[in-house]
Structure 1
């Protein structure tokens, strides 16, 4: 077949050639639209919609029924691909005879892969928001026309999958909103878009519903309180010398909390005329104590603090015995990290050694250690690092006893009675046999 003959045939089939080109363009449109509308940022679309962007509102409306949207785009994509392949095969049969089928298959495979799949999808994924806003007016019309067919196809698919015990629900997400947010933040942190401090703060907010008051409270063994039966001047001195603004008052037993004294209320009372520290009744100045269960989650406790406009609560167990105290600051520190001011006591809970090991007080919370050193020690079964060692070892270790778990070597440095007070921790790859 001569070139002149081929050109003559092309002139005869020019409408078919134009139709094939148009169908390939339509296929590229459907492929790019599917990728863009799948990868589009829902948060950014909601922001655009709030600012009055009607195209963003259309995007949000379409992706709320994602299965219907994707089904319609796939129907359109497959329809134009099949039609383009059929027309190309017909054209090549006229040009090359029976061997045209093989030529048409090779040519259409290359053309569809490059121009209908890789190129439009790469373009769409590079800027999904902009791409989605550009194509959504046309996509909305197409989905409106083909949507019922797409819904019917989805019903058939669900019925077929149900035969094999697979249940699909368009209303149920595989991940909770918190898990999706946490995953997005972790991914952005690994990519360098979110710094560690911001990741920790966002993670702290998401963790509030999973933590209980007992996880962040100041335990009764470390709680500062004053005896209401002590001489008044001694009570006043203890409160004013304390680095804390609020202190619980107890009488007869530390389990019997009778009030909470605010230093500002005490100073205001002392400023009254004819009031002497040796005669002041601190109990009358104290506010009524607020008791909360140790199983209250931090999200509920934070809301309760804000609702009641108080900053201090006494934590009790199921038997009503005092377990410790929790403050609004304790919960906020779970979000923003340690909050220190000029009156805080400097706590030497964690110390880096020259050999790369970490010396840690037993009472240091696991979450604080994870946050400071970017570790992933579990905190489900224990709150403090000493509690983790006891939980994992199933015993109360002796001094110099060592354990290895979670990629770390834990060496007990100091123990007082049944309490581990100091530990040395080193990464497993840096540990030496003991």
Structure 2
């Protein structure tokens, strides 16, 4: 190359460094593409996304093309740098290889490796989409070399007893999906983000966590008089209610208030009118995951079910509305002020009914009281005290100060709760 002008050699060396930067950025950009966004763009008909997707379908071939091209360019650049050094160091030609190494190493490191790879990692689509067209052409041009390299690599793997490459499973677990949704919270409205998280958490919540406890179920006892039943139906706050005889375990059916119109407005109302209009009760075992129960409600075309234990005793009542609230949240904007069980105080504390659900308290006040044990505040307090307490007893419970205000029938009916800094648990 002695006949080439020195300036031309420097220009060729610069072009080789640019090609090296292209291959480095292409490799990082292609491997940094978000596979799920790439699939979305491909389905939308994005031409560059389709090209990149085809290349990524054969990762071994893609890597071979990039590395063959990058190594050819880097070796050529090293050889050319040595020639340039020999031309410049005529009197010390033996130092030419060392000088070429010292001169070329920082150039390759900065301009052909770190900078292009960093840019490709930050903007993978901008780099890899245009590059995919060039790589596609090189894949065809270098097909024989790629085939030979892959044959040699497979032979080496065979000698080392390394098995065939198994493509990674792209299906995501619910926890992985939840991570993706949480990471995307800044790009979507808060209500949609909460709904997506609620859907993904359905399998971690059971009907026991959201059911109305047995002692809070409002129903109609058919052992009462016709007059009492009529008054009770008119006073009910719910559109659906259970019918039972004497005890909730002797439930007869579920009734919609509109089906009680004949009974309410009849000149001679009878209990038979109610029993004929009621639908058969629907029972689900305790511990049923919410995502399973949602499908059951859909298949059965029902909106209410009784939760029973292993002995068939009714433990509570779960409705479709309760289940949907786990996904979309409470149907109100201010849970703490609208809840009948949570009463804000001027000093920043809250007076909470003992029957309040721990999950409802956490959701309304954005707290994190433990939910892996008892389901109600009363149960949580009794579990930690391990005794039937007197009123005015206080305890520290995982960062919350709980003061018992009222005891009735061996149960805590009201307690004052405030947030404190300590996370230690003790009873005073």
| Band of TM-score, shorter chain | 0.7 to 0.9
CA distance in 2, matches of 1:79, 1:88: 14
Matches within 5 A, 1:281-296: 281-296=273-288
Greater mean alpha carbon deviation, residues 91-100 or residues 212-221 = 91-100
Q: Which of 127, 148, 158 is the aligned partner of 1:131?
A: 127
Matches within 5 A, 1:232-243: 232-243=226-237
Shift of 1:79: 5.4
Aligned to 2:403: 412
Structure 2 residue 315 is the aligned partner of structure 1 residue 319:
no
Structure 2 residue 107 is the aligned partner of structure 1 residue 115:
no
Greater mean alpha carbon deviation, residues 216-225 or residues 352-361 = 352-361
Aligned to 2:38: 45
CA distance in 1, matches of 2:276, 2:211: 26
Q: How many residues align?
A: 412
CA distance in 1, matches of 2:340, 2:196: 26
CA distance in 2, matches of 1:358, 1:74: 65
How much is the aligned-residue C-alpha RMSD, in angstroms?
Answer: 3.9
CA distance in 1, matches of 2:175, 2:82: 49
Q: Which of 393, 405, 425 is the aligned partner of 1:400?
A: 393
Q: Which of 242, 250, 255 is the aligned partner of 2:249?
A: 255
Aligned to 2:20: 27
Secondary structure of the residue that 2:318 maps to in structure 1?
strand
Shift of 1:212: 1.3
Shift of 1:152: 7.1
CA distance in 2, matches of 1:416, 1:305: 37
TM-score (norm 2): 0.79
Q: CA distance change for structure 1 residues 45 and 98 in 2, over 3 Å: closer, same or farther?
A: same
Gaps of 5+ in 1: 1-7
**Is contact 1:71-1:154 (8 Å) kept?**
no
CA distance in 2, matches of 1:168, 1:352: 61
Gaps of 5+ in 2: none
Aligned to 1:246: 240
Structure 2 residue 343 is the aligned partner of structure 1 residue 347:
no
Matches within 5 A, 1:4-15: 11-12=4-5
TM-score (norm 1): 0.78
Q: CA distance change for structure 1 residues 374 and 291 in 2, over 3 Å: closer, same or farther?
A: same
Q: CA distance change for structure 1 residues 257 and 336 in 2, over 3 Å: closer, same or farther?
A: same
CA distance in 2, matches of 1:353, 1:127: 52
Secondary structure of the residue that 1:247 maps to in structure 2?
strand
CA distance in 2, matches of 1:266, 1:120: 75
Aligned to 1:426: 419
CA distance in 1, matches of 2:299, 2:349: 44
**Is contact 2:307-2:314 (8 Å) kept?**
yes
**Is contact 1:261-1:287 (8 Å) kept?**
yes
Deviations 1:366-390 (A, max 9, x none): 4444444444455334434554555
Secondary structure of the residue that 1:403 maps to in structure 2?
strand
Matches within 5 A, 1:87-236: 87-96=80-89, 97-142=93-138, 145=143, 146=146, 149=149, 153=153, 170-172=167-169, 176-189=172-185, 192-194=186-188, 196-236=190-230
**Is contact 2:17-2:74 (8 Å) kept?**
yes
- Structure number with greater Rg is 2
**Is contact 2:402-2:417 (8 Å) kept?**
yes
Secondary structure of the residue that 1:117 maps to in structure 2?
helix
CA distance in 1, matches of 2:18, 2:239: 71
Shift of 1:410: 3.2
Q: CA distance change for structure 1 residues 279 and 419 in 2, over 3 Å: closer, same or farther?
A: closer
Shift of 1:258: 1.2
CA distance in 2, matches of 1:68, 1:182: 33
Structure 2 residue 44 is the aligned partner of structure 1 residue 59:
no
**Is contact 1:228-1:282 (8 Å) kept?**
no
CA distance in 1, matches of 2:249, 2:373: 26
Q: Which of 331, 336, 345 is the aligned partner of 2:328?
A: 336
